[in-house]
Amino acid sequence: MRYSGRVFSALLCLLALVGGIGCQTEPQESNGQRQVEFSPSARSDHEYMRQLIASKGGGTLKLDLSDEVQYRFLRSRLAASGKTPESYPQFFVMLENLRSRHLEQKSPVSALADAPRDHLVGDFVVLPGGATFEATAFATIQGGADYNFVDVVVWNEDQTQQLSDYGWGEVYGDGRKLKARAMGPMPFVGDDVFIVDSVNLISRGGVDEVYMTSEPVRTPPGGIVFHPKDTTKDGIVTICLDRDYGDCDYPMVGFRQVQIPLKGNITFPFKVLQILNTGQTYVKLVEESGGPREMTFGPFSTWLKINPNDPRQVLWDVPQNKGIFNGILFQRYEDVDFFLSVQVMLERPSGPTKVASKISSVRSQTTPGMPSVPKHQIVYSCLAKGTQILMADGKTVNIEKIAKGSKVVADGSGVALSVTDVSVGIERIPMVRIQDDAGHELLMTTSHPVLTPDRGVVWAEELSVGSKILTRSGPRTLVTVKRELYHDQVYNLKLDTSTLAQKTFPEGSSMYANDFLVGDLGLQKAYEFKNSENRTADVLRRLPSRWHKDYQNSLKVSAR
């Protein structure tokens, strides 16, 4: 197999403990321009790990650090991140404690076993232009962890050459979802199978575990995803639970579970001999709280078939009423990551080869002709039936009686905006009822945006007695804030802001509801996915003290 000189061959023998770190401490991803140590002993250890994973059927292996080779491999591998015992003392204490526990053959009940977790190769794609590839590794645990570390490296098929840089990421005091990214120049050979491997360390509640996953992957030369699809062309796949309005790609009034159709195909370069029902054939959703959600009507392999007219192509077509993911209720507003993997036995000139192709929402770019899926979002939020909305003529009208084209007063300036869409749904979660010191009341869902004079736009669930809120007559103080179940329909409006010379908000607008100034659908959508700033003090507060020095030193590194 012939490779371009652009491959990092000159860098493969970098010693791992050289100073300097190419990593940023952030939950989503980090990337380091380093190489794994590739001395003769390291080469032998890597081959040992390769055979060990293969003996277990491939996929993810839980490391046993009582095995001297596994321990040596892990230390050498992690050294590529530039960590030292002086700068990251708890990291190395974690490794030694884990090794001691394995040597003593103690098996305490794992805190990690109580929460769904996953460690997988997110995807492998060719970037636009065809000269560079990108691979991601993804680690998730429901509810998060004190510390989460994941790395990713790409090798040639026989794992004698490292083709990518060494990508790694870490997160402290959260760890629900973590991504690492590696990149490298595409070889000149057209039919390349790549090996993507990744190490994942998790510390949670004083229990530490380490995993390694390794997969042969290949970027498909063609394919398409028909569903899930961004039909509204806003860059995301919006799934509306108990809601139906124009911004929804998949409106599901009356449903508490996510159920979406899954339809598409992947074309491989050679004939597909067999679709494999393994841990590397799946469809998964990962929500903000972490942990994978699997298809209820699985395994996914049962929905796959080889195209009889083109044996290179694998097809799937899961109807919406079967595309259900386990668990009842997602969060009221959250980003959701999508992962799809198809592993097959491919007929190559060199012989039958096990290989997987990946489709996910975590890739940074998409290449025309290659199947891809945008980020997913789950939404539901509205106002109670009977809420009085201030109209352009000065009258108030029940929100359920307002139609498209009606004009609504947007704010204190008196500007009137046209209604372009109406959301109708139901609410299963207790709603928020507020009352101000003038006697005005409003019932709304917890994630409805409300305007305040001192805090800007906040969610209804962030309000409390004493909070200041903007009303038609100016700022008021809340005297009642309580939760209550609601058993009727809920509504919201989307207003047309295109006529405004200067927008108050980058997206969406506001309106008066029962005299309170609240957000419309556009503003709701813009703010329901807001992220609270991850302040250092907040991280230290929830992070066990033994990790404080590591975390504070990681901030110094990321600031360089």
| CA distance linking residue 148 with residue 65, whole number of Å | 18
Of 331-340, 437-446, 541-550, the poorest mean pLDDT is in 331-340
Task: Please indicate whether residue 441 or residue 376 has the higher confidence score (pLDDT).
Answer: 441
Of 119, 83, 33, 32, the residue nearest 551 (C-alpha): 83
Condensed to tens digits (0 to 9), the pLDDT of residues 75-96 reads: 988 888 889 999 999 999 999 9
Residue 132 identity (one-letter amino acid):
T
* Spatial contact of 491 and 444, defined as CB atoms under 8 Å apart: no
| CA distance linking residue 359 with residue 90, whole number of Å | 36
* Spatial contact of 395 and 470, defined as CB atoms under 8 Å apart: no
What integer pLDDT is reported at residue 330 of this predicted model? Answer: 59
Of 322, 26, 6, 13, the residue nearest 169 (C-alpha): 26
| CA distance linking residue 388 with residue 396, whole number of Å | 6
Burial (0-12, 13-18, 19+ Cβ within 10 Å), 493: buried
Of 544, 538, 552, 549, the residue nearest 206 (C-alpha): 544
DSSP code of 58? Answer: S
What integer pLDDT is reported at residue 92 of this predicted model? Answer: 95
Of 219, 355, 217, 342, the residue nearest 282 (C-alpha): 342
Condensed to tens digits (0 to 9), the pLDDT of residues 209-240 reads: 999 999 999 876 789 999 999 988 888 898 88
What integer is the mean pLDDT of 189-198?
A: 84
Cβ-based neighbours of 414, under 8 Å, separated by 6 or more: none
What integer is the mean pLDDT of 28-32?
A: 46
What integer pLDDT is reported at residue 386 of this predicted model? Answer: 93
Radius of gyration (C-alpha) of the chain in whole angstroms: 26
Name the residue with tokens 């139609």.
403
Band (256; pLDDT cuts 50, 70, 90): low
Average per-residue pLDDT in the chain? Answer: 83
What integer pLDDT is reported at residue 5 of this predicted model? Answer: 32
| DSSP3 helix / strand / coil % (the chain, rounded to 5) | 15, 40, 45
Residue 300 identity (one-letter amino acid):
F
* Spatial contact of 199 and 212, defined as CB atoms under 8 Å apart: yes
Percentage of the chain beyond pLDDT 90 is 46
What integer is the mean pLDDT of 282-289?
A: 89
| Alpha carbon distances (Å) from 250 to 238, 260, 278, 317 | 6, 7, 29, 16
Structure tokens at 421: 């869409």
* Spatial contact of 149 and 80, defined as CB atoms under 8 Å apart: no
| CA distance linking residue 249 with residue 233, whole number of Å | 9
What integer pLDDT is reported at residue 539 of this predicted model? Answer: 81
Burial (0-12, 13-18, 19+ Cβ within 10 Å), 499: exposed
Task: Provide the pairing of β-strand 207-217 with 167-172.
Answer: unpaired
Name the residue with tokens 């080869």.
353
Scanning 290-416, the segments in alpha helix (DSSP H) are none
Length of the chain: 560
CB atoms within 10 A of CB 292: 22
Q: What pTM was computed for the model?
A: 0.76
179: pLDDT strictly greater than 80: yes
Name the residue with tokens 């030694």.
96
Q: Which helix (H) or strand (E) holds 40?
A: helix 40-55
| CA distance linking residue 404 with residue 390, whole number of Å | 15
Task: Please indicate whether residue 97 or residue 524 has the higher confidence score (pLDDT).
Answer: 97
Q: In a 3-state reduction of DSSP, which class is residue 81?
A: coil
| CA distance linking residue 362 with residue 526, whole number of Å | 20
Q: Is the backbone peptide bond immediately before 368 cis, with ω within 30 degrees of 0?
A: no
CB atoms within 10 A of CB 529: 16
